[in-house]
Chains A and B, each alone.
Chain A
Amino acid sequence: MLHPGTSSTPAVRPTGRTTTAGTLCLLLGPALAVVLVLFAGGLVLGMLQAGGYVPGRGLSSLTVEHVGNVLLDSELLRSFGLTFYISATSTLIACLVSVLLAMALVRLAGRSRTIYFLLQLPLTVPHLVIAISVLLLLSPSGLIARLGVTVGLIDGASSFPLLVNDPLGIGILAVYVWKEIPFITFMLLAVLKNMGTELLEAGATLKATRRQRFFHITLPIIAPALGASGLIVFAFTFGAFEVPYLLGRTHPLLLPVWAYRNYSDIDLLSRPEGIAIGLLITVIIIVSIVLSHLLLGFARKRGITV
């Protein structure tokens, strides 16, 4: 029997399910305020600074000169190309491996909680830690190279292949791929678990080959989640600073490192240019997010829940 004072009456009564617009605003208010003030505010400040805003002179001091300088810089295309190459390649590799891994896991591990726990572990490790680990492991004087010298596989540090601060960005790619596979796999597993085996069994009954079942049943179902998580990864790697700073080369620079370099320059005049590069990165990331959102909406229309 329940006493009134200790009753476990739910805070929201079943009849009060329909929330009015007013309560919705109230509930979302604090979160929205943070987003608006910090992100939108930061964006506006960024635009002002990229425009070379000088406090004493008001809005008349705004100019597009700095943005123009960045857009006309011959380095921009090179930096953009390199950043795009790193982001696209790491996203692609991570997506491919994740699809295979998720399918293997859903078959082998089923609903095992341990597997999920293990998958979540790498998600908690910061990129910075992995970047330093890769540096310690893969540099010409790193752990693997030393092991190779000890075992007699290579003659010395100089004969070890260049894997960090290298022209192809292998070190950076390694970090991103290692970090993003668990994330994408995690997203895919959720979808694959909900999908169940019925559709596949039906396909098998209708004599679809494994290949056909993958391309006509599994892939269409996981595609939205794959696309969305892939875009999130792409957007993140496009704007991340610490990994290319540690594992990249002095020249050419990835866009985020270039932005940082300009922003922290002794010469105050290169600061607006740093911000302009930052805004450019933001634009690309926003486009990625919008695309990812459209994909999700498209999937919902087809009745697939993610």
Chain B
Amino acid sequence: MIRPGFARTSFSRKLHVFLSVFLIFAGPVVPVVTGQVLSWDEAVSGARGQTVDWYMWGGSPAVNAYVNGYLADEVKRRYDITLRQVPVKDIAEVVSKLVVEKQAGKDDGGSVDLMWINGENFRTCLRYGLLYGPFADVLPNQRYVDWTNPTVKNDFGTPVEGMESPWGSAQMVMVYDRARIAEPPRSVGALLEWIQAHPGRFSYPAPPDFTGSVFIRHIFYHVAGSVDRWQGDYTQAELEQAAEKTYLVLRELQPALWRGGSTYPESPVRMDTLFADGELDFSFSYHQGDASRKILDGLFPDTVRTYVFDEGTIANTHFVAIPYNAADKAAAMVVADFLLSPEAQLEKAKPGVWGDFPALSQQKLPPQWQQRFADLPRGPATLDDVELQSHQLPEPPSEILIHLEQGWEQQVLKNR
């Protein structure tokens, strides 16, 4: 199973802390240098014959095949660019390499031309001036991106501002079995009532598991009564107050959970198993197409469906960025643009290719492309792009995420 955005995010969060500690002792913070960015015409003409070394997480055969097959062939044919994938276990390693290069004053001729990043890695890059740009606004295919969508505008609470270009999206969806529940609770509030009315039929993976953690962020948004407030300026007191309310709700919920809340599934895999075995009536996933894939694999019955809350579910976007010292910036820009083209996004979204969800807004696409995306064979459980995209909530900054995970352990898990 491919877990594009969030798998790397949990890695990257670890790196961020490492880097922060490292940099505190390594030297002063380097200010962001924003140089002159190439125009689109300069980029296309300069890109011819260049080689793009794209550093990315290489753990998925489907992603690797898409990059080395379709993408490499197309950019060679269209722009005479050689695309070379450099698979890494964790893009955070590359970010730390760039930090060292920045400190050593290696300002050009860098070996990394393009990186697949998001979340904390992006924040770290911005903070230490490791990125080239803003380049995203220059790319013609940006016209299909809805920059007003908060999950695209902000990357885990950090304003993107053209310093990275979107590639795909991941969104949390609720999973239920139509044969068991005719009408699922369509809001967080209704779900909480449903859990109280059906003791023992719901649970969530224990945070800091990433999927369990996103569930408690939905509760957090629900009790705080606002989503946007956490993207901008908020005081520590406001956060504490909303967090306390979150723990209170979760503590009240505990007796009604699976096994009276005395224990939790250790992973989403276990939660899915409990759901399939009929011990739980709901599961949820941070991948829109995961349930369909599980039906296809025979792990879920055909009657399983997904839905999003009326108020929306949390989503995040994964991006590509160009390092400040990349040797082939022009070609990297052209590749980033091609990644966003409707044809490349459509190919990527095919379940047999990768099944990653498009970073493009369906409303902004020409009608014939909208039709093509709508015609994609998606599993029986997967919602369509319009439904998904109109119900997206942004991720809060990771300091809120960490705050909630730690608080959950102290106040919900241990305070029984």
Contact = CB atoms under 8 A, between A and B. Distances in A.
Interface in A214-266: 245-246, 249-251, 261, 264-266
A266 B13 CA distance: 6
A56 B200 contact: no
B26 A56 contact: yes
B266 A268 contact: no
A294 to B, nearest CB: 39
Interface in B364-416: 398, 402, 405-406, 413-414, 416
Contacts of B279: 140-141, 157
Interface residues of A, number: 25
A194 B13 CA distance: 59
Nearest to A56: B25
Interface string B241-268: 0000000000000000001001110100
A293 B278 CA distance: 50
Interface string B268-287: 00000010011100000000
Given A250-B266, A250-B413, A158 B200 contact: yes
Instruction: Label chain B's interface by main secondary structure.
Output: helix
A157 B17 contact: no
B14 A266 contact: yes
A266 B22 contact: no
B402 A167 contact: no
A198 interface: no
Nearest to B263: A249
Nearest to A268: B17
A267 B200 contact: no
Interface string B190-203: 00000000001000
B263 A250 contact: yes
Contact of A245 (B14, B208, B266, B414): B266
**Interface size class for chain B?**
20 to 34
A277 to B, nearest CB: 16
A54 interface: yes
B18 interface: yes
Contacts of A269: 17
A249 B208 contact: no
A54 B25 contact: yes
Contact of A141 (B13, B206, B278, B402): B278
Contacts of B10: 266
A266 B206 contact: no
Given A266-B13, A266-B17, A266-B405, A56 B264 contact: no
A162 B258 CA distance: 12
A173 B244 CA distance: 38
A266 B21 CA distance: 13
B260 to A, nearest CB: 11
Contact of B264 (A162, A167, A250, A267): A250
Interface in A265-282: 265-269
7 contacts: A54-B21, A141-B277, A157-B277, A157-B278, A250-B264, A251-B263, A265-B208
Given A165-B263, A265-B208, 19 more contacts: A54-B21, A55-B22, A75-B414, A139-B277, A141-B278, A157-B278, A157-B279, A162-B259, A165-B259, A245-B266, A246-B266, A249-B262, A250-B266, A251-B263, A251-B413, A251-B416, A266-B13, A267-B406, A268-B14
